[in-house]
Structure 1
Amino acid sequence: MPETRTPRHLVLFRLLVVGTSVSAFGSYLNMVALNLFVYQATGSALQTGAFMALRLAAGFLAGLTGGTVASRLPRRPVMVACDLPQAAALVALAVSPASVRLGLLPVVAVAGGLLGTTSSVLLRSSVPDLVPGPDRVTANGLLVTGRAVAMTLGFAAGGLLVGWLGYRAAFLVDAGTFLFSGLLLAALPLPFPNHRTRPAGSVTDAADRSGEPVTDAADRPDGRRRRRLALAALLAAPAVLVIVVVRAADALGSASHNVGLPIYATQVRPEDPAAFVGNFFAVWAVGLLTAHQLVKRLNRRGPGLDDPRRSELAFIVGTCVMSTAFVAAFVDLPGYWVFAVALVAGAADGFTEISYTTRLQAEPDPRRGYFFGATAMAENGGLGVGMLLAAGLLELWRPLPVAAAMHGTVVALAVAVALAGALRHRARPTATNGGTVPVATGPTVAVTNPVEESGR
């Protein structure tokens, strides 16, 4: 039986995933070590929260500008430039005297949020150029798997490194992960887009369909003009707009379990709440690891997530399952059932991420750069607002009703979107006598148009 060889582009992409996973490990280690350091250095929960909020705000800003960066600048040098300054900021934090460290904390927060989100937008929007054809779903699965491993090891290593070696060593290890990622990215012979193009279905094409003057946005330095064209592109792709809205609601709902789980743990496991929280997220990360295998099984049974309509439906179903599982986690389930729920939540989370990432990548460049920037804005903005809302609600209610209200809103929105898409699809007239089928223009879970077809 002949040996099946892995295509070269997948081998190179796997090496890229190693680099991005190492830097993701640094990011999660960073979240543990830096948040602990800020709290111990300031003694203020308010200042610790402000540090986290600053990082989220920087991520939101990166989403706002990510599409412009993706469409105007060569992506590989920009991604390398996103890793190396983060390494430099962490080295400076590690070697500087104690009197200077507090002043460097806002710099580290902004660098982590701004550069980390920008790098993520550029990488996800470049996947169709790096891994063409049906291997694109496999590539997205590898990214999610790498993130799950990085998250598990990063959260575990953060506390251990700080406890054994101190903050300075943890910051230097963290800096090394970003340095490794940047150097590997610079060395790999991958075909990243490195020049400005205007393919069919670009941002300007979307503007033309929306009534804007047909002018190449890249030739106009006006920032407001570029933002209007990006919005026009989003409105011209209603299925993508639905994904952005649902991702924003999902991020807002996720704040309820991020804020509420420590409170819930002190109620059900007062003897060791930290172990309960740690075990819950460890099992959740294991579930995240299984998502890639779930997608592979789905692809063997049919067209899989390469079909935009199927990836849109998979995104909605995964979102509903994930939110429902997180609500069930607060029901005071007996024994280890709560960890079974965590496993389901993690698997659904990874499945949802692979689904919507694959769907957005079906769009042609440079539109998909703007779309990934929009989802980054939605996720960071939704999580930031959600944390404030969840913190306020938890002053009034127990964690279960807070999670039920916030995640229930996500499920209701997703179900409404799915029903609206199904009704619109059934009502759409069919082609007769050689005519053409009109394209749906409203928010729908299943939208197919010539632009999408040309981008696949």
Structure 2
Amino acid sequence: MASAYAVSACGNYLSLIALGLFSYTVTGTAFGVGAVMALRLFCGFVAGFLSSTLLTWVAHHTVMIGADVARGTVMVVLALGGGRTSTWVLAAAVAVLGAGNTFSNVALRSWIPALVGGSARARANGSLVMGRSLATVVGFASAAPVIAFGGYPLAFACNAAGFAVSAGALLVLQRAAHGEGAEDAEPAADAGAVKPASGTESPGTEAPATGSGMKAQATGAGTKAQEPAADPVAGGRPKEPVAAGRPQEPVRRSRFRWRQTAAPLSGVLLMMIVLRGIDAFASSSHNVALPVVAHDAHPGEPALFMTRFWATWAVGTFLAHLVLRRRKSEAAWGESAFALGTCAMALSFAAAFWGLPAAVVVAAAASAGFADGWTEIVYASRLQAAAEPLRSRLFGLSAAAEQSGFALGTIATAAALETLPASVVVSAFHGVAVCGALALLTSLYVSTRRRRLSRTGERPQALSRR
């Protein structure tokens, strides 16, 4: 699945450059290119709000396969149309691409716990981040030679082939899920289900582990309560205790499934999603400013400069995956780790644009990649700790926040670069991300201190009653 995702993402980044140039060829104006990009972002923004509702009615893998088929179809249409493509056909294709990307990403992220299990979701997220990072470098680096060799039709055909590979991998996973009877189901470890005593085990024999760190003790009576286990990715909060020997009652689904997605969200999760949108707003600055800096610093080979920068960034994300897969402590997966990683990423990207020596720029790019991979893995794993349908709702809101933040940041960065140097613009935008991360850290500190004070205040009262 990770390999298919990387192939599909590589085609996406390849067609991102090709589609921008092709849009200028079709529309003939810079305003037309901006309108096409705005339409794509707007459709992705709307799809973020609709994705949670869609996933309550349609299976995750079905949504992803449908998105791959739809995006692959429009890529084939653009490849066959070539220079004869009309503006309306281009607009329809861009709308499908924007909505399809969001639907596919939300479905994939929210499907990970059911696909690999709750305990392995962080490692799966790391594999996806690593694959996307490599796809970014390969897709951007291959855009120029592919377009030079076969034109826009070849670039669009490569993207369509990537969608076909992704759809094929999903079909294989779908058959495997049908064979195991676990299609789009929550794993027992996440649900906290415990196997009842079968009566064939002798007293004192341990039953197989059925939860995160929980074991069912098959005693004669079979009524010993389970100790709740803490989920490190969920911030260390313990799960609800389940009595041994009693099967968990099935979750009752409302006939009106849309009501299940209307549950209120916690303040911490909302702040994380808002910070993710602010991070996308800040990240748009270095994406827009990097080509400008590349042309100014290396006018003879700007593409080589950008390839080196993103390759170093990809190495950093790979290192983040290697580090996080070895850490199982609660501190590595908490909200504080996400906020601190956002600060480190913002400061690293800002340092890369201050005209420092080449070795320092390489170190800053690697540091930015490490922090970017760290925050991506921690953030996705934290949202995946929620149960469905809340999980799909969280990722849908996150996609909408990221799309809107990146769109606003792109427009603001383009306007700011007309009068200010790239170093000032990138530093100012990432300074906003640092402020948002500090606000989240302050909120976490205040809430933690209040909990500690409330606990210390309850103990003397309990002792005085005795």
- Whether these two folds match at TM > 0.5 is yes
Q: How far did 1:72 drift? A: 2.2
Question: Does 2:374 match 1:351?
Answer: yes
2:387 matched residue in structure 1: 364
Question: Does 2:231 match 1:240?
Answer: no
Q: How far did 1:194 drift? A: 7.0
2:419 matched residue in structure 1: 396
Structure 1 residues 317, 149: CA separation in 2 closer, same or farther (over 3 Å shift)?
A: same
Q: How far did 1:27 drift? A: 1.0
- Give structure 2 stretches of 5+ with no counterpart: 193-251
Q: How far did 1:192 drift? A: 3.9
Could you report, residue by residue, the CA deviation over 1:46-97 in whole angstroms, capped at 9, with x for unpaired residues?
2112212211111111111111112222222121111011111111111126
Matching residue within 172, 176, 179 for 1:187: 172
Could you report, residue by residue, the CA deviation over 1:16-72 in whole angstroms, capped at 9, with x for unpaired residues?
112222211121111122112222343422211221221111111111111111222
Matching residue within 255, 261, 271 for 2:300: 271
1:292-303 equivalences in 2 (<5 Å):
292-299=321-328, 302-303=329-330
Q: Is the 8 A contact 1:298 1:304 kept in 2?
A: no
1:247-396 equivalences in 2 (<5 Å):
247-299=276-328, 302-303=329-330, 305=332, 310-396=333-419
Give distance in 1, aligned partners of 2:48 and 2:268. 19
Give distance in 2, aligned partners of 1:289 and 1:39. 35
Question: Does 2:458 match 1:430?
Answer: no
Give distance in 1, aligned partners of 2:153 and 2:85. 14
SS in 2 for 1:336: helix
1:6-405 equivalences in 2 (<5 Å):
16-96=1-81, 98-188=83-173, 189-190=176-177, 191-193=182-184, 219-220=255-256, 230=261, 232-234=263-265, 237-299=266-328, 302-303=329-330, 305=332, 310-405=333-428
Q: What is the percent sequence identity of the aligned residues? A: 37
Q: Is the 8 A contact 1:75 1:192 kept in 2?
A: no
Give distance in 2, aligned partners of 1:405 and 1:371. 28
Give distance in 2, aligned partners of 1:381 and 1:67. 17
Q: How far did 1:304 drift? A: 6.0
SS in 2 for 1:298: coil
Give distance in 2, aligned partners of 1:146 and 1:304. 25
1:401 aligned partner, one-letter code: V
Provide TM-score, normalisation by structure 1.
0.80
**Higher Rg:** 2
Could you report, residue by residue, the CA deviation over 1:347-369 in whole angstroms, capped at 9, with x for unpaired residues?
11111000000000111111010
Q: Is the 8 A contact 1:28 1:155 kept in 2?
A: yes
Q: Is the 8 A contact 1:145 1:289 kept in 2?
A: yes
1:210 matched residue in structure 2: none
2:385 aligned partner, one-letter code: A
Q: How far did 1:435 drift? A: 9.5
Q: Is the 8 A contact 2:283 2:430 kept in 1?
A: yes
Q: How far did 1:335 drift? A: 2.5
Q: Is the 8 A contact 2:26 2:85 kept in 1?
A: no
Give distance in 1, aligned partners of 2:321 and 2:57. 32
Q: Is the 8 A contact 1:91 1:175 kept in 2?
A: yes
SS in 2 for 1:365: coil
Give distance in 1, aligned partners of 2:394 and 2:78. 34
Structure 1 residues 278, 47: CA separation in 2 closer, same or farther (over 3 Å shift)?
A: farther
Structure 1 residues 218, 272: CA separation in 2 closer, same or farther (over 3 Å shift)?
A: farther
Q: How far did 1:240 drift? A: 0.9
| Structure 1 stretch displaced more, 33-42 or 156-165 | 33-42
SS in 2 for 1:233: coil
- Give structure 1 stretches of 5+ with no counterpart: 1-15, 201-215, 437-456
Give distance in 1, aligned partners of 2:412 and 2:114. 40
SS in 1 for 2:419: coil
Give distance in 2, aligned partners of 1:46 and 1:278. 28
2:201 matched residue in structure 1: none
Q: Is the 8 A contact 1:255 1:387 kept in 2?
A: yes
Could you report, residue by residue, the CA deviation over 1:256-310 in whole angstroms, capped at 9, with x for unpaired residues?
11112222233333333333223212221222222211212333xx3465xxxx4
Give distance in 2, aligned partners of 1:359 and 1:282. 27
SS in 1 for 2:442: helix
Could you report, residue by residue, the CA deviation over 1:144-167 in whole angstroms, capped at 9, with x for unpaired residues?
111112222211222221111222
Q: Is the 8 A contact 1:126 1:192 kept in 2?
A: no
1:442 matched residue in structure 2: none
Give distance in 1, aligned partners of 2:74 and 2:115. 30
Could you report, residue by residue, the CA deviation over 1:219-254 in whole angstroms, capped at 9, with x for unpaired residues?
448xxx75xx746432xx111101111011111111
Give distance in 1, aligned partners of 2:417 and 2:142. 30
2:445 aligned partner, one-letter code: A
2:286 aligned partner, one-letter code: H
Give distance in 2, aligned partners of 1:146 and 1:104. 31
Give distance in 2, aligned partners of 1:331 and 1:174. 35
Count of residues in Structure 1 that have an aligned counterpart in Structure 2? 390
Q: Is the 8 A contact 1:315 1:355 kept in 2?
A: yes
| Structure 1 stretch displaced more, 342-351 or 390-399 | 390-399
SS in 2 for 1:257: helix
